[in-house]
Amino acid sequence: MAVAGGTTGRIPLIAGNWKMNLDHLQSIAFVQKLAWTLKDARHDFAKVEVAVFPPFTDLRSVQTLVNADDLPIAFGGQDLSEFDSGAYTGEISGQFLKALDTKYVIIGHSERRQYHGESDEQIAAKLAAAHRNGIVPIVCVGETAADLETHGPSAVPVSQLRVALGGAAKGQEVVVAYEPVWAIGSGQPATSEQAQQVCAALRAVVAEVLDDEAAAATRILYGGSVKAANIAGFMREPDVDGALVGGASLLVDEFSSIVRYQQHLGT
């Protein structure tokens, strides 16, 4: 593997979680503009991988565009069912996502945990469903402000990840996203030191539940109010391998600038 993430060998990943924004027509315009902007800037996709996570109804459009124009942009779903088929009204199967060439799927985002009551066990089952269908799960973990006060910085994300990784298939890739709930959409990111501390603890969980090799290879992202102005600080940390970006991923120029953080690492 190309050594892009410093000495770690992990290729940094900048992932844009669109949440419930942009319809299928808007998604085409957005991905086209993103690809042009990055191409104009001569972005080296082998050095920093780029992925977008549109709503389900956009995925076919994004797939068609990416395939037709051979764009170096990966895409994924924002969730999937723990089941592959059956009487689960409103759910989306990993089989369907795989059929649309989705490389990734976000699992256990705090908004799913909060508004849909997803438990750690269900998230483990979803992780297993992703692996069963050959999709790389991006498993989100993170503490609330109350958790932080009661349990300190890493206890809750560590225990969430320990359960979720129970669903992992041996030898298959996992991406972890540390997203403190208090930092999501708040404009108040964690400090890079806080992110590093928790990401290091999460890497230790990967080593414990999977193995050392998996821990060394697994990309751990930080998410929560990431912007072009703060990404470089996070990316300087040895255990932060990228970012899961919400609000700022909906602005082409801002998102492109986050992707191009290596240009402002010195800042």
**Contacting residues toward ligand PGA, per CB under 6 A:** 17, 179, 184-185, 223-226, 244-248
Smallest distance, Å, CB 178 to ligand PGA?
11
Residue 30: name the closest of 58, 56, 49 by CA: 58
Question: Identity (one letter) of the amino acid at 149?
Answer: E
By beta-carbon proximity to ligand PGA, the closer residue of 48 and 214 is 48
Calpha distance 14→241 (Å, rounded): 9
Angle between helices 59-69 and 24-40 (to 10 degrees): 30
Residue 245: name the closest of 19, 11, 12 by CA: 19
What does the block give as tokens for 17?
């979680």
Smallest distance, Å, CB 223 to ligand PGA?
4
Calpha distance 220→139 (Å, rounded): 9
By beta-carbon proximity to ligand PGA, the closer residue of 158 and 244 is 244
Strands (E), the chain: 13-17, 49-53, 74-77, 104-107, 136-141, 175-178, 219-223, 242-245
Calpha distance 134→171 (Å, rounded): 12
Smallest distance, Å, CB 12 to ligand PGA?
16
Task: Identify whether the C-beta of residue 123 lies closer than 8 Å to the C-beta of residue 81.
Answer: no
In this structure, the chain runs to a length of: 267
Smallest distance, Å, CB 252 to ligand PGA?
15
Chain residue at closest Cβ approach to ligand PGA: 246
Question: Identity (one letter) of the amino acid at 228?
Answer: A
Active site residues: 109, 179
Q: What number of helices (H) and strands (E) belong to the chain?
A: 11, 8
Smallest distance, Å, CB 256 to ligand PGA?
15
By beta-carbon proximity to ligand PGA, the closer residue of 77 and 223 is 223
By beta-carbon proximity to ligand PGA, the closer residue of 17 and 218 is 17
By beta-carbon proximity to ligand PGA, the closer residue of 65 and 153 is 153
Smallest distance, Å, CB 183 to ligand PGA?
6
SS3 call for 136: strand
Other CB atoms within 10 A of residue 155 CB = 15
By beta-carbon proximity to ligand PGA, the closer residue of 111 and 210 is 111
What does the block give as tokens for 15?
């992932």
